Amino acid sequence: MQEEEVRLALLQTELSSIQNSIRSFETIIFQIKGWCVTTSLAVGGFAIVNHIPALILIGEGAVLGFFLINCQFKMYQHRFLVRNDRIDSELKDTGIMEVLKGAGNIDIVGTTAVGLSSGSLSISARVRRRLPDFLHEAQIINTFSLYVFITFCYTIEAIILLS
């Protein structure tokens, strides 16, 4: 087997693994949003039926928790998207055959090496390192809008229950 064939097999394996990871994260994120809506409706309905305005705070806490988890998974998914884009750009700029011959600036490792591990960093160092990525994902309208809407609904519900 020639070196180019081995590198092609590694490239195919890596791209397939990246695509599978992106789809898996998308499924998880969809489930997180579904559980947020389900939990919010259940807590909100229970608060209205039993006239317990304090449950709104529990619902708001749940929405915040789901939002944070959603942002975390979007942050991880984003790393796979960036790796996929880097490979795509390298293949377009350098050429597939040249990359397979070893040219270019990207290593073809055959695995989804996106740097998710933090090694032996302290918790505060990990937070400082990942916070900008997390905040970026939190500001994306697709991530943000659902949770703002649910929070708005809870606010209206609280006003109704307290009046």
Give pLDDT tens digits along the chain (163 positions): 588 888 888 889 999 999 999 999 999 999 999 999 999 999 989 998 998 988 999 999 999 999 999 999 999 999 999 999 999 999 999 988 888 888 888 887 777 666 656 667 888 888 888 889 889 988 989 888 989 999 999 889 888 888 8
Domain residue spans in the chain? 3-115+123-162
Per-residue model confidence (pLDDT) at position 113: 60
Q: How far apart are CA 151 and CA 163, in angstroms?
A: 18
The b-or-e profile of 2-31 (16+ CB within 10 A means b, else e) is eeeeebbebbeebbebbeebbeebeebbee
The DSSP line for 89-125 is: HHHHHH-HHHHHTT-SS----SS-------TT--HHH
CA distance 163 to 155: 12
Residue 101 backbone phi and psi in degrees, to 5: -85, -5
Express each pLDDT in 53-100 by its tens digit: 889 999 999 999 999 999 999 999 999 999 999 999 999 999 888 888
Is this structure's pTM higher than 0.75?
A: yes
